[in-house]
């Protein structure tokens, strides 16, 4: 039972040494339990925060214990009458090939589902995040200019396509010309600007001649700096994520090692003068809306109005390297690990 544990906590960007692969016995289900075999494992940016020993909205990963994440698994033994062998389930499980469960927190998926991995992406937590953050926090109106950071990623790719459906003009921000081409060509954004290009701020200005009405914040850093002066009066800024800062000591409350110039007066003055609404949200607070999300996004995907970008990496052993790459922008779409038995 190959299992990946947290070997040490990263300082800055994670490295392969922070992870360790262990061979553990395959567990035997007791009364009321199930044995699950991993099919797909989700890798998500929030996991970087859980590698720190710092309080947050989810507790830290424990040292020498398996890392955990969203997973699609198959029931291969069942001593629980709620589940049968062959059932496909979604749950929060360890980075391991086999796991025990008592069934709590598992959601049954359609066993014949064409793309089970979508339950971790477009039809899972990131898709729900995109749907809620854009429609409930960003509230785009037809003809608004909506700028989406992390545009080729799991959340951003869906945000931009929903904004298009709602009639907005959609400008993505992504890293590198290839990602930008895909965002326009495959996802139908009106434009996409490369944040790694030295002329990024000028290119963003050129792509947003009427300013920005909604900025979907996924990254922070230099992208936010370029967006701030372009925000219109009454703009909305759903703050979904700040991936550019996840490796900074200050993100986990670790103090002032990465102090920069104090931009708080500029940011707050802009918010005040332009009456901007900046609102952070954590998707787990909004479960009551999940049914509406599934109905909307499931319908749009089935109708071909939303396309799903996935980056599938084969082999549980490659999860650490793929996760390190996620924080460097190496993924193209929702990053998932496909296990041997998928």
Return residues touching ligand NDP (CB under 6 A): 44-46, 126, 129, 150, 152-156, 174-175, 179, 195, 218-219, 221, 223, 240-244, 281-283, 326-327, 329, 331, 334
How many angstroms separate the CA atoms of 339 and 39, rounded?
Answer: 5
The CB-of-103 to ligand NDP minimum distance in angstroms stands at: 25
Count of helix runs (H) and strand runs (E) in the chain:
9, 15
- Name which of 50 and 179 has its Cβ closer to ligand NDP: 179
Q: How far is CA 30 from the centre of its chain?
A: 34
Question: Smallest gap, in angstroms, from Cβ of residue 102 to ligand NDP?
Answer: 26
Name the residue nearer to ligand NDP (CB basis): 103 or 281. 281
Separation of first and last alpha carbons in the chain: 16
User: Inter-axis angle of helices 290-302 and 154-165, to 10 degrees?
Assistant: 80
We find the least distance from the C-beta atom of residue 61 to ligand NDP, in angstroms, to be 16
- Closer Cβ to ligand NDP, 8 or 332, answer by number: 332
In angstroms, the Cα distances linking 206 to 82, 172, 175 are: 57, 13, 18
Indicate the residue among 281 and 296 with the shorter CB distance to ligand NDP: 281
Comparison of 37 and 117: residue with beta carbon closer to ligand NDP: 117
Joined tokens for residue 267? 């940011």
- Residue 338 CA to residue 340 CA, distance in Å, equals 7
> In whole angstroms, how close is the CB of 33 to ligand NDP at the nearest point?
30
- Would you say how long the chain is, in residues? 342
> Please, which residue, 50 or 169, has the CB nearer to ligand NDP?
50
Q: Report in angstroms how near the CB of residue 275 gets to ligand NDP at its nearest.
A: 24
* Cβ(236)–Cβ(213) below 8 Å: yes
Smaller CB distance to ligand NDP: residue 35 or 155? 155
**Could you give the CA distance from residue 326 to residue 342 in angstroms, rounded to a whole number?**
22
CB of 226 to ligand NDP, least distance (A): 11
What residues contact 237, with CB distance under 8 A and at least 6 apart?
A: 138, 214, 215, 217, 231, 276, 277, 278, 279
- Dist. CA 227–CA 233, nearest whole Å: 13
What 8-state DSSP symbol labels residue 51?
Answer: T
Q: Least distance (Å) from ligand NDP to the CB of residue 317?
A: 21
């Amino acid at each position: 039972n190959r299992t990946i544990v947290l070997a040490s906590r990263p300082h800055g960007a994670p490295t392969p040494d922070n992870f360790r692969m262990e061979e553990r016995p395959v567990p035997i289900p007791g009364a009321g339990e199930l044995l699950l075999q991993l099919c797909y494992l989700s890798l998500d940016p929030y996991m970087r925060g859980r590698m720190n020993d710092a309080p947050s909205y989810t507790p830290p990963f424990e040292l020498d214990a398996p890392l955990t994440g969203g997973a699609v698994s198959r029931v291969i033994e069942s001593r629980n009458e709620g589940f049968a062998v062959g059932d496909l389930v979604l749950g929060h499980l360890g980075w391991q090939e086999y796991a025990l469960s008592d069934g709590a927190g598992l959601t049954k998926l359609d066993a014949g589902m064409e793309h089970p991995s979508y339950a971790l992406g477009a039809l899972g937590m990131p898709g729900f995040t995109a749907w809620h953050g854009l429609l409930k926090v960003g509230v785009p109106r037809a003809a608004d200019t909506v700028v989406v950071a992390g545009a080729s990623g799991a959340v951003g790719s869906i945000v931009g396509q929903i904004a298009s459906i709602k009639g907005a003009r959609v400008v993505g921000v992504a890293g590198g010309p290839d990602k930008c081409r895909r965002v326009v060509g495959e996802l139908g954004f009106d434009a996409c600007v490369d944040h790694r290009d030295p002329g990024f701020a000028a290119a963003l200005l050129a792509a947003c001649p009427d300013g920005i009405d909604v900025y979907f914040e996924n990254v922070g850093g230099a992208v936010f700096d370029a967006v701030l002066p372009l925000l219109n009066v009454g703009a909305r800024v759903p703050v979904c994520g700040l991936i550019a800062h996840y490796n900074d000591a200050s993100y986990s409350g670790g103090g002032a090692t990465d102090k920069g110039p104090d931009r708080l007066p500029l940011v707050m003055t802009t918010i005040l003068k332009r009456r901007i609404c900046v609102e952070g949200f954590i998707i787990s607070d909004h479960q009551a809306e999940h049914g509406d999300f599934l109905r909307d996004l499931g319908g749009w995907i089935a109708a071909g109005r939303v396309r799903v970008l996935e980056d599938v990496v084969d082999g549980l052993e490659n999860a650490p390297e793929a996760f390190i790459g996620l924080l460097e922008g190496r993924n193209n779409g929702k990053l998932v690990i496909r296990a041997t038995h998928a």
